[in-house]
Amino acid sequence: MKLLPGLGNADMRFQRLHAQMNDESWHITSRGELYTSVQGLEMKSKDDDQGRPYVDGFDYGSFGLSGFGAAVDLGASYKFDDNWTFSASLLDLGFIGWKGSSTRYALADAEFDYDGFDLPISNSDLPSLSDQFDAMKDDLENLFHFEEQEGRSGRTTMLVATLIAGAEYTIMDNKISFGLLSTTRFYRPKAYTELTVSANFRPVWWFSGSLSYSMVHSAFQTYGIALNFSPNGFNFFVGSDYMITKVNTQYIPVNARAENIYLGMSIPLQYRKTVAGSRSRVRKFY
């Protein structure tokens, strides 16, 4: 179980962007919503060419918590025999409730009619083509202008839950194993699934390492490495599941836009030794 303090959240989406076209004119409508839940954040407004206010930026004041929530992580593993182990987990199943005093709401609800351009050939009173293009551009921009609404009520957002399922096969008395891992993150509007294969090495009880490769969305560029050291008294790990593989002469990545690096340390609270045959194994409890 996890209790979660919420620092901030912003969400913008369009429910409708519709164009009805016929021989004489186009009729375009849009509708979208913008929510921000950040303590001390205020929307700045500006008038468009038709005198209607729209959100043109944000002012940020004092820092504070904007909401609270809770989540649960569920997991289980099953050892089928001496070689096969299966596991599954459901992570971040929960929500955060955002305070009304920290929440701002804006609405985009506009329509635009386009019936072509008038060529100012024989009528000098008509606007120039350049002015007509500018007017059409302004009308299209108005379709995406958000106007802040009165009334501040709280809201609740769900966390991005993650479903993980894996299988591992071990050889050489658990010193080497091979794994297959499926990870599905439930984003909106659709879920994102990745499949990863790994090779794991445990030559001694205090050290282990892992190499991994993800194959669905990686374009053959996503691999990872992890190292874990656990001598008596502490545990240290470092790893990356998305590594930069190529840089130019200025050491700027050319085939990736990000790299993930994880490191950390934990301290066991209790040790217990168990004897299996002639070998002594150490089990740690945290």
DSSP 8-state code for residue 101: G
Report CA dihedral (29, 35, 36, 42) to the nearest 10 degrees: 60
The predicted model scores a pTM of 0.68
> Rounded distance, CA 102 to CA 122, Å?
58
Report CA dihedral (56, 62, 67, 70) to the nearest 10 degrees: 120
The arithmetic mean of pLDDT across residues 62-77, rounded, is 94
Contact between 2 and 72 under an 8 Å Cβ cutoff? The reply is yes
284 pLDDT above the threshold of 80: no
Residue 257 confidence (pLDDT): 66
46 pLDDT above the threshold of 90: no
| High-pLDDT (> 70) share of the chain, % | 86
- Show the CA angle centred on residue 253, arms to residues 251 and 259, nearest 5°: 115
Q: Please report which helix (H) or strand (E) contains residue 169, including its range.
A: strand 162-171
Residue 279 confidence (pLDDT): 45
Burial class (CB in 10 A: 0-12, 13-18, 19+), 38: buried
For residue 161, give every residue at least 6 positions away whose Cβ sits within 8 Å of its Cβ, in sequence order, or none: 90, 91, 92, 93, 185, 186
pLDDT per residue as tens digits for the range 191-247 = 988 899 999 999 998 999 999 988 876 655 678 899 999 988 889 999 987 777 777
pLDDT per residue as tens digits for the range 126-154 = 677 677 777 777 777 888 889 999 877 88
Buried b (16+ CB within 10 A) or exposed e, 115-127: eeeeeeeeeeeee
